[in-house]
């Protein structure tokens, strides 16, 4: 049974020395019926708000196993 769903949006950010680091933003407690398209739309919205380019969008699902 699917218990919980969240998403991670990965992006690159330059530090003080100019090196690029892979960072991510997490969005927790998404509706468990959310489609991949809806999560990608959410990533686009966050991208516009934060002015980041999300190169990887990852969906995480937590299941309860009896």
**Which of 10, 17, 14 lies closest to 60, judged by CA?**
10
- Coil, strand or helix at 34: coil
pLDDT confidence of residue 66: 82
Mean pLDDT of 11-21: 91
Instruction: Indicate whether 29 pLDDT > 90.
Output: yes
Coil, helix or strand at residue 12: strand
pLDDT bin (cut points 50, 70, 90) of residue 15 is confident
Rounded to the nearest angstrom, the gap between the alpha carbon of residue 46 and the centroid of all alpha carbons in its chain is: 9
Q: Please give the model's pTM, rounded to 2 decimal places.
A: 0.83
């Amino acid at each position: 049974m699917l218990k919980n769903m969240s998403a991670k949006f990965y992006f690159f950010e330059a530090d003080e020395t100019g090196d690029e680091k892979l960072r991510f933003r997490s969005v927790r407690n998404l509706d468990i019926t959310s489609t991949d398209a809806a999560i990608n739309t959410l990533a686009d919205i966050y991208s516009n708000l934060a002015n980041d380019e999300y190169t990887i969008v990852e969906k995480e699902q937590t299941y309860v196993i009896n």
